[in-house]
Amino acid sequence: MKVCFFHLMPYRFLPDDFERKYRSVWVDVPHSLYDPEKTAGLYHEFLDELEFAETSGFDGLCVNEHHNNAYGLMPSPNLMAATLTRRTSRAAIVVLGNSLAAYNPPLRVAEEFAMLDLLSGGRLVAGFPVGTSMDMNFAYGVNPATLRERYYEAHDVVMQAWTRPEVTSFNGKYNQLRYINIWPQPLQKPHPPVWIPGGGSVETWEWTARLDYVYCYLSYFGYKRGKVTMDGFWEAIHRVGADDNPFRAGFLQLVCVADSDAEAERLYFPHVHYFYQKCLNVWEGFAEAPGYRTLKTMQVGARPQVGAQARKIRQELDWAKYVEQGYVIAGGPATVRQQLMECIKSLRVGHLMVLLQIGSMPKDLTFHNIELFTRDVLPHLRGAWPGYKDRWWPEAASQA
């Protein structure tokens, strides 16, 4: 079992009335709410947390990419990963990831990931998300009708740049490259492990399964609601005839550990509530550009994580519901251990990612959460999948 510490880097200082006064935390969140001095401090706070997560025993550190977003201050996860390569020495650096369709040419991703792999001594996991509609269609103006096609083509460009040693050409629909010949090449051969963060589109399951990559569901709604999506992935794995190695799958879960269940509510509720009420307050019009989901996915009925329906569900949440419905796994160590094991087993997940800095959670409390998690929970999860080999993990990354 591999357990990774995931950071979103949320802006912690949104006003109390944010979700009533402003329609969206994403795309058109007003600049007037943003304080550069505070943000400069936040970056160092968040990097401290990531570095502390490594020394505390996590197997990997995850960063991701968002744009125009007050809960994800990482337009460039590669910059964060680059600083981590210098301040860490053991954990895998999991960039989840670079939204391929946003890079022109996508060779930029092949180059930067190669640099990160070299800087980290071969500890990089390369994540390739399609990207959310908010990021790709609205913030970056990518056409929803061709986003996926562009993504698949960009993936092919990156793989060609990484795996074909000679100078090659690529005559694509979106990329015409006469001389592909990136310097430098990645350290890991044939290339760093590839993880695909997805949001439940049918096409991504099948594509990921066919290419033998890891599928990661980055859900904010917990393992109970995540089951439908992960089951869909495992069915796709079954359809392509691949084995059921749990290391094919990753899942993100929010976790709060305290000395007791009651203490967990007292310590963490305001920050969890900040996350669900403010950070996920996305205007319905931005939740999904027309054409972002394919007809096939719409017919399966997969819903976006944000927007009107999601808002309605969110607004009715209190601590009891966050916990009962599995949005957050929270409580004393015994409670957290038992539920996380249930999460791991029911979703069949070999790569667990946990979000321990949640919403407005300050550094001292995040450190507390990391300490308790790595001391009282993580060691008990290690043996969850005996007998399976993780073929999607950088060899240079090692366990604490």
Residue 143: CB minimum distance to other proteins, A: 4
Between the alpha carbon of residue 379 and those of residues 15, 103, 341, 360, 400, the distances in Å are 38, 39, 12, 27, 11
- Preceding peptide of 97 cis, ω within 30°: yes
**Interior angle at CA 302, CA 351 and CA 310, nearest 5:** 90
Residue 321: CB minimum distance to other proteins, A: 26
Gap between the Cα atoms of 62 and 139, Å rounded: 22
- 156-165 contacts: CB < 8 A, separation 24 or more? 157/105, 157/106, 157/107, 157/110, 158/100, 158/106, 158/107, 158/109, 158/110, 158/113, 158/128, 159/191, 161/107, 161/110, 161/111, 162/110, 162/114, 162/186, 162/190, 162/191, 163/190, 163/191
Residue 285: CB minimum distance to other proteins, A: 4
Q: Rounded to 10 degrees, what is the CA torsion of 81, 84, 89, 94?
A: -30
Site for other proteins contains 36 (CB under 8 A): no
Query: 289-328: which residues touch other proteins (CB under 8 A)?
Result: 289-291, 293, 295, 298-299, 308
DSSP structural state of residue 316:
T
What stretches of 218-291 adopt beta strand conformation (E)? 249-257
Among 22, 286, 385, 393, binds other proteins (CB under 8 A): 286
Q: Are the C-beta atoms of 139 and 286 separated by less than 8 Å?
A: no
Between the alpha carbon of residue 181 and those of residues 49, 147, 168, 329, the distances in Å are 37, 25, 7, 47
Among 75, 121, 172, 285, binds other proteins (CB under 8 A): 285
Total residues interacting with other proteins, rule: CB under 8 A:
19
Q: Give whichever of 227 and 303 is closer to other proteins, judged by the CB atom.
A: 303
Among 141, 165, 190, 383, binds other proteins (CB under 8 A): 141
Q: Give whichever of 26 and 138 is closer to other proteins, judged by the CB atom.
A: 138
Residue 110, classed as helix, strand or coil, is helix
Q: Which of 156, 133, 155 lies closest to 143, judged by CA?
A: 133
Residue 215: CB minimum distance to other proteins, A: 25
Q: Are the C-beta atoms of 388 and 245 separated by less than 8 Å?
A: yes
Residue 293: CB minimum distance to other proteins, A: 8
Query: Given the rule CB under 8 A, which of 134-142, 194-202, 355-363, 392-400 is the region that contacts other proteins?
Result: 134-142
Query: Given the rule CB under 8 A, which of 124-132, 203-211, 227-235, 288-296 is the region that contacts other proteins?
Result: 288-296
Query: 338-397: which residues touch other proteins (CB under 8 A)?
Result: none
- 30-33 contacts: CB < 8 A, separation 24 or more? 33/70
Residues forming a β-bridge with 351: 2, 250
Among 98, 137, 277, 360, binds other proteins (CB under 8 A): 137
Query: Given the rule CB under 8 A, which of 91-99, 121-129, 271-279, 285-293 is the region that contacts other proteins?
Result: 285-293
Residue 144: CB minimum distance to other proteins, A: 6
Q: Give whichever of 7 and 148 is closer to other proteins, judged by the CB atom.
A: 148
Give me the count of residues in the chain: 400
Residue 136: CB minimum distance to other proteins, A: 11
Residue 298: CB minimum distance to other proteins, A: 6
Gap between the Cα atoms of 255 and 96, Å rounded: 19
Among 35, 79, 104, 145, binds other proteins (CB under 8 A): 145
> What is the pattern of x (binds other proteins, CB under 8 A) and - over residues 148-187?
-------------------------x--------------
Residue 134: CB minimum distance to other proteins, A: 11
Query: Given the rule CB under 8 A, which of 76-84, 136-144, 336-344, 389-397 is the region that contacts other proteins?
Result: 136-144
Q: Which residues make up the interface to other proteins (CB under 8 A)?
A: 137-138, 141, 143-146, 173, 284-286, 289-291, 293, 295, 298-299, 308
